[in-house]
Chains A and B, each alone.
Chain A
């Protein structure tokens, strides 16, 4: 409970004005770097764990792209490296292929783009940008990371079990996921998958509770909700979405666990597996899909919103212009949050859903285009005639807008239940969600890392490496996913092991090889980022200015290396919104500066 003391007695910091990172109570290596309750350290733990998972998840995609791009080639060296379960006769085995696809999806969506993205930036930015010394409950915050760590360990261990990791797709639809005899991956691998995901849900809920409680209760004096930077609004809505939907997924998982382990029939009915009749009667596999997609659709916004918030902030700072339509930005975030909860059945148009019900879900789905378009319009108008500084963070933020537009437009196609009959489960869908949610959110994350790195480590990243990283990733993302639209329009289904044996899809052999080659190049380029990140922690150029980007928000009023408690003295008071750039002939006016007598209105 020592943090309570920290939270309520700011005066204890006043003594340490000169060397703020000197802490007032003794910290050991364990309490500082391992079981830390400092939100900044926890955010770095989330970030680095997320990066390790991104590396693993990316590597898995390279492996299955090898199979898709080079179905006739043999890779005996891979067999030596990975063993017989994964590679046999120099080819990725079918079972391993499905395991790779499944683990790639689960890891990237949950571990990287949920924990790695909102875990990192909600922890880092919420207290710093609202003017709080730490989270509402630093202890729960620490638990949140360690539940994620435990979930990571379990998921990682599932890669090494004899029957392989779960291989029924990241959606884990029963009956495949419910019956061990249905597939090798549904045995131990699925048990570990469920345990890992249950731990992950607990982690997300503990984190989300904290984020909401902190944003609503711990803002500094003068920081009204309408003065919050858009990052905080976005992270706040993200947390609310998670709190409302992860428990529903949890319920779905509990029923699945009962079906797997206690012989119940929630999801199972009338099944024959390997010639034997199962006793289960009366269950409905569609019920699982409802419970699953009630989370999994909002999940894509849980992944998107933090990226949107950070991009809004970075675009405004580096255009040296106020964000265009602040209230519209908050309103559209709110609209997206609400609509996210009532569109889940658009993933289920082809399950025999009542067409009348389907048309209602089409309507709500297409409505999302409205707030999304408002956001895109406001980003573009923020850029319009700005004094743009092309910092690496800014490049990734602009890249995000580009990817969001390209990926978002195809969402209008897929949201139509009639078109979805043709496009469902094809590469068109893969292209759509990878661009709009996968790569775009990754770009938001990269933008955030490049932008807030000086605050995280007190050092700068190398710009040359960052620009190479940006351009290769940007061009690569389009080269990988653009062609997939054509494959999907031609009806090429997703998740098939080998397309070369299908007369209809043989024509795409070269295209698939091209995509796989680009995947390898883009994956290799990410090592530039990893090197840049870890090298700069120790050897990067030191930050000499507390406010290197000339930004208005509160995190840049802390010392270069803030200690636990963030501000050495009193927490600063806020007098204005966060977007006074280029106002009254001044480049920027920090939030802490009182409104002058002759100042114009914004």
Chain B
């Protein structure tokens, strides 16, 4: 399984923190599986008004994919001990993460401006589901941003220079995970009707 795919510097076993991350990602998958299956169940019954996907979400998709690339480059430059490039790239990744969240916010603004009621009296579950699912996903991306900020301060610390790749590998894996999660949600919400 993934144990063979992600070998760390430890000789035999997967780093326990990395393993814990994989389990946590499984757990997050279950949460979104629950929400998207609730979405399917709900769509097939009762009053359901399809919401057209705002254009902004296409831009945010591009942003998060680019951020995954910068994250990957950051990891390779960390492994190559190019610290300057590494610092630049994680900063860029974190900024792209924030930009992603911002674009999602603007996307919802677009939806409300086009007259769709997301929450409150008279709102339709179809639109409310978007808020819950995309909102939760964005929170997970922001969680990744916080992890990057921690890595950022570690990288700029003068006192300790750390060559252990495990923490940054964990952040990178998580980052690619929320990226993939978004692509799944995007396909699910935008195209599967």
Chain A positions within 8 Å of B, measured between CB atoms, are 136-137, 140, 205, 208-210, 212-214, 216-218, 243-248, 250-252, 254-255, 258, 262-266, 269, 279-284, 287, 290-291, 294
Docked CA distance A504–B135 (Å): 52
Cβ distance B193 to chain A, nearest Cβ, rounded Å: 17
Contact B23 A243 (CB under 8 A): yes
Please tell me if B109 contacts chain A, counting CB pairs below 8 Å: no
Q: Which segment, of B42-50, B99-107, B143-151, B177-185, faces chain A?
A: B42-50
Bits for B150-176, please: 1 = Cβ < 8 Å to A, else 0: 000000000000000000000000000
* Chain B residues positioned under 8 Å from A266 (CB to CB): 38, 42, 125, 128-129
Does any Cβ of A come within 8 Å of B115's Cβ? Answer: no
Does any Cβ of A come within 8 Å of B13's Cβ?
A: yes
Q: Is B11 in contact with chain A by the CB < 8 A criterion?
A: no
**Chain A residues in 8 Å Cβ range of B38:** 251-252, 255, 266, 287, 290-291
Chain B residues with Cβ under 8 A from A269's Cβ? 46
Known: A209-B20, A287-B38. A258 touches B128 (CB 8 A): yes
Q: Are A205 and B27 in contact (CB under 8 A)?
A: yes
Q: B46's contact among A246, A262, A283, A290, by CB below 8 Å, is which?
A: A283
Complex CA–CA separation, A213 to B27 (angstroms): 13
**CB neighbours of A205 from chain B (8 A):** 24, 27
Q: What are 12 A-B contacts defined by CB distance under 8 Å?
A: A136-B19, A213-B20, A217-B16, A245-B30, A248-B31, A262-B128, A264-B125, A266-B38, A279-B121, A287-B38, A290-B38, A290-B41
Q: Which of B24, B31, B46, B132 contacts A209 (CB 8 A)?
A: B24
Interface size class of B (residues with CB under 8 A): 35 or more
Residue-wise interface mask of B (36-61) relative to A, using a CB-CB cutoff of 8 A (1 in contact, 0 not) = 00100110011110000000000000
Choose one: B19, B35, B41, B122; the contact of A216 (CB below 8 Å): B19
| Known contacts A252-B34, A263-B120, A282-B125; is-contact A136 B27 (Cβ 8 Å) | no
When A245-B30, A258-B132, A265-B123 are in contact, do A282 and B46 touch as well, CB less than 8 Å?
yes
Assess the A217–B19 pair: CB atoms within 8 A. yes
Cβ contact within 8 Å between B26 and A244? yes
CA distance A290 to B120 in the complex (A): 24
Question: How many residue pairs, one in A and one in B, have C-beta atoms under 8 Å apart?
Answer: 114
Determine the chain B residues whose CB is within 8 A of the CB of A250 once the complex forms.
31
By a CB distance below 8 angstroms, the chain B residues around A252 are: 34, 38
Determine whether the beta carbon of A247 is less than 8 Å from that of B19.
no
Q: How far is the CB of B147 from chain A (nearest CB, A)?
A: 14
Q: Which residues on B sit within 8 Å (CB–CB) of A209?
A: 20, 23-24, 27
Using CB atoms, name the residue of chain B closest to A243.
Answer: B27
Q: Is the CB of B41 within 8 A of A136?
A: no
Question: Once bound together, how far apart are the Cα atoms of A217 and B2, in whole Å?
Answer: 13
- Chain A, residue nearest B36 (CB): A251
**Which residues of chain B come closer than 8 Å to A262, judged between CB atoms?**
119-120, 128
Judge whether B95 is part of the interface by a CB distance below 8 angstroms. no
Contact indicator A254/B132 (Cβ below 8 Å): yes
Given contacts A251-B32, A282-B46, 17 further A-B contacts (CB under 8 A): A213-B19, A213-B20, A243-B30, A247-B31, A248-B30, A248-B33, A252-B34, A255-B38, A262-B119, A262-B128, A263-B123, A265-B124, A265-B128, A266-B125, A266-B128, A266-B129, A279-B122
Rounded to whole angstroms, the CA-CA distance of A282 and B131 in the bound complex is 17
Closest 3 CB pairs of A and B: A136-B16, A282-B47, A247-B31
User: Who on chain B is nearest to A217 by CB?
Assistant: B16
Residue of A nearest to B122 (CB): A279
Q: How far is the CA of A392 from the CA of B23 in the complex (A)?
A: 37
Chain A hits for B132, CB < 8 A: 254-255, 258
Within residues 3 to 21 of chain B, which ones have a CB less than 8 A from any CB in chain A? 13-14, 16-17, 19-20
**Measured between C-beta atoms, what is the minimum distance from A479 to chain B in Å?**
41
CB-based contact A254/B26 at 8 Å: no
The listed residue (A137, A214, A263, A291) touching B119 by CB distance below 8 A is A263
> Would you call B98 an interface residue if the criterion is a C-beta within 8 Å of the partner chain's C-beta atoms?
no
Q: Which residues of chain A are near B48, meaning CB under 8 Å?
A: 282
Chain B nearest CB, measured from A2 CB (Å): 14
Bound-state CA distance A263–B119 (Å) is 6
Which B residues are CB-close (under 8 A) to A243? 23, 26-27, 30
Closest Cβ of chain B to A273, distance in Å, is: 14
The reply to whether the CB of B190 lies closer than 8 angstroms to some CB of chain A is no
With the chains together, A205 CA to B20 CA distance in Å?
A: 11
Q: How far is the CA of A265 from the CA of B123 in the complex (A)?
A: 7
Q: Are B42 and A137 in contact (CB under 8 A)?
A: no
Q: How far is the CB of A140 from chain B (nearest CB, A)?
A: 7
The docked-state distance in angstroms from the alpha carbon of A554 to that of B35 is 43
**Bound state CA distance, A269 and B47, in angstroms?**
10
Contact assessment for A244 and B136 in the assembled complex, using a CB-CB cutoff below 8 Å: no
**B189 interfacial contact with A, CB 8 Å:** no
Report chain B residues within 8 Å CB of A258.
119, 128, 131-132
Contacts of B34 in A (CB 8 A): 247-248, 251-252, 291, 294
A269 to B45, CA, bound (A): 12
- By a CB distance below 8 angstroms, the chain B residues around A218 are 16
Interface assignment of B28: CB less than 8 Å from any CB of chain A: yes
Among B81-97, those with CB < 8 Å from A are: none
The answer, among B13, B33, B35, B119, for a CB contact under 8 Å with A264, is: B119
* Closest Cβ neighbor of B3 among chain A residues: A216
Interface centre among B14, B19, B23, B46 (most CB of A within 10 A): B23
- Cβ B31 vs Cβ A217 within 8 A: no
B181 to chain A minimum Cβ distance, whole angstroms, is 13
User: What residue of chain B has the Cβ atom nearest to residue A214's Cβ?
Assistant: B16
Q: How far in angstroms is the closest Cβ of chain B from A469?
A: 38
Asked if B20 and A136 make an inter-chain contact with CB atoms under 8 angstroms apart, the answer reads: yes
Q: Which chain A positions have C-beta within 8 A of B16?
A: 136-137, 213-214, 217-218
Contacts of A140 in B (CB 8 A): 20
Closest-by-CB residue of A relative to B30 is A247
CB A136 to nearest CB in B, in angstroms, measures 4
| A248 cross-chain contacts in B, Cβ below 8 A | 30-31, 33-34
Complex partner residue of B41 from A213, A246, A282, A287, CB under 8 angstroms: A287
List, in ascending order, chain A residues with CB within 8 A of B41's CB: 284, 287, 290
Residues of the A chain whose Cβ atoms lie less than 8 Å from the Cβ of B23? 208-209, 212-213, 243
Chain A residue at minimum C-beta to C-beta distance from B119: A262
Nearest-Cβ distance from residue A192 to partner chain B, whole angstroms? 22
CB contacts (< 8 Å) of A247 on chain B: these are 27-28, 30-31, 34
Q: Judging by beta carbons under 8 Å apart, are A210 and B20 in contact?
A: yes
Q: Which residue of A lies closest to B26 (CB)?
A: A243
Chain A residues in 8 Å Cβ range of B136: 254
Q: Known contacts being A254-B132, A255-B132, A266-B128, is A217 close to B13, with CB within 8 Å?
A: yes
State in angstroms the CA–CA spacing of A252 and B136 once bound together.
13
B31 & A282 in contact (Cβ 8 Å cutoff) = no
Contacts of B119 in A (CB 8 A): 258, 262-264
Query: In the complex, what residues of A have CB within 8 A of residue B122's CB?
Result: 279
Alpha-carbon separation in the docked complex, A217 to B6 (Å) = 14
Smallest Cβ-Cβ distance to A261: which chain B residue:
B119
Q: Whose C-beta in chain A lies nearest to the C-beta of B13?
A: A217
A204 to chain B, nearest CB (A): 10
